[in-house]
Amino acid sequence: MKYIVCEKPGQFLLKEKQAPERKSGEALLKVKKVGICGTDLHAYAGNQAFFTYPRILGHELATQIVEIDENDKGLKAGDNVIVMPYVSCQKCIACRNGKANCCTNISVLGIHGDGGMQELISVPENILLPAGNLSDDEMAIVEPLAIGAHAIRRANVQAGETVVVIGCGPIGIGMMKLAQLAAAKVIAMDMNESRLEYAKNEIGVDYTVNVGGDPVKEVSDITNGDLATAVFDATGHKGALEAGPQYMSHGGRYVLVGLSKGELTFTHPAIHAKESTIMCSRNATFEDFRNVIKVLEGGQFPVTSFITHNVDFTEMIDNFDSWLKPETGVIKATVNF
C-alpha cells in the first residue's frame, strides 16, 4: 500500500509498504480523507514539540472499517468511523481522573506514533466513534473542532460573556463558532485581514481586531473598559501567547490552546493583580467529539467554506509548501486517500 512519510523537516516522500496486520482489539481502517493540521505544518517546518523523524503524519481522519472484532459499540466492517487519535494508558493519574486527553503516557497518532497518511491503518477499537451520516469532509474536521470544544468547555464559557480568540486558523475559527453556540460574544484577533474577514462573514463573530493596531485599546473600547472575561490563544506563537493576559479582565481566564516549544514569560504583578486563572487545554475527550458531531449533524458549522483546499494524496507533496502561506487563502486543507 502507499503512504506518505515526513522523512525530516522539509521533506515528504511517497512510498509503498505492506498493509498493517490487525491485532486483537484493533480495527483495520481504510483511510478516506486526512485533514492537515497546524501540528502537521509545524512538524514539516521542524518546530513541533514532542516529535521525532521519520514520521507518518495525519490525525484528522475520515475512515471506514475494513476489519474489526465483535465489540460493545456495535461497530462493523463497512461502517464509517471517526478516530479520536489519542491513545492513552488508562492507568495513570490523569486517566484515573477522567483526563485521558493528558495521559502521562499518551501517544497521539501522527505525532508520537505514525498517523493516517496511508491507505490502511490499524488502531485500537476503543478510540473509534461512529460517524453516522457525516460526510467525509465533516468526519475529517471533527478532531480539530473537538480541540476547540474542549477549550471552550474547560474555560466554562457562559452565555453573555465576551471572549477573545487570538488566531483565525482552523482551531481558532472552530473555537469562535463553538463560543458563539455557547451564546458568548466573540472578538476575533489576528494580523491577517482576510482571515478576520472570514471570521466576520462566515463565522459571524461580533467583532474583529487586527493586532497590527492597538489591540488592547480596541478590546477595552469594545467591552467598555472591562476587557474579556475569557481569552484563548490558538496561535502557539510566543509573542501572542505572552500578550494574551493583556486582553483579559480582572478575575478572568486565559486559556493556552496553541503550543510553543520554548519558555514563556509573564509579568507577575500584572497577572497577579487580575487574580488570573491561566490554564492549558490539551487534546479533547469523547465528550468533546460527541458535542462536535452534534454541531455538524445540525448544520451549525460552515464546512464548505472552512475546507479551502483539497487534493489527492499523489498531489499532496507538490502542494504542501503552499499551505504554509496564509496569502494562499488556506484555512483547512484536506487530502483524499
Amino acid occupying residue 250: H
Do residues 9 and 132 share a domain? yes
Do residues 332 and 275 share a domain? no
**Which DSSP category does 213 fall into?**
S
Among the candidates 264, 280, 296, a domain finishes at 280
pLDDT, residue 123, reads 98
Do residues 124 and 168 share a domain? no
What CATH number should be reported for the domain holding residue 32?
3.90.180.10
Among the candidates 254, 280, 306, a domain finishes at 280
Do residues 29 and 105 share a domain? yes
151 within some domain: no
Do residues 22 and 141 share a domain? yes
Which residue range(s) make up the domain with 56?
Answer: 2-146+284-336
> Which residues on neighbouring strands pair with residue 5, listed in sequence order?
13
Low-confidence ranges of the chain (pLDDT < 50): none
What is the DSSP code string of 34-66? EEPPHHHHHHHHT--SS--SSB----EEEEEEE
Give tens-digit pLDDT for 160-214.
Answer: 999 999 999 999 999 999 999 999 999 999 999 999 999 999 999 999 999 999 9
DSSP element (H, E) containing 287 = helix 286-297
What CATH number should be reported for the domain holding residue 186?
3.40.50.720
Number of Cβ within 10 Å of residue 19's Cβ equals: 13
pLDDT, residue 39, reads 87
Indicate the number of domains in the chain.
2
Helices 286-297, 136-154: crossing angle, 10 deg rounding: 120
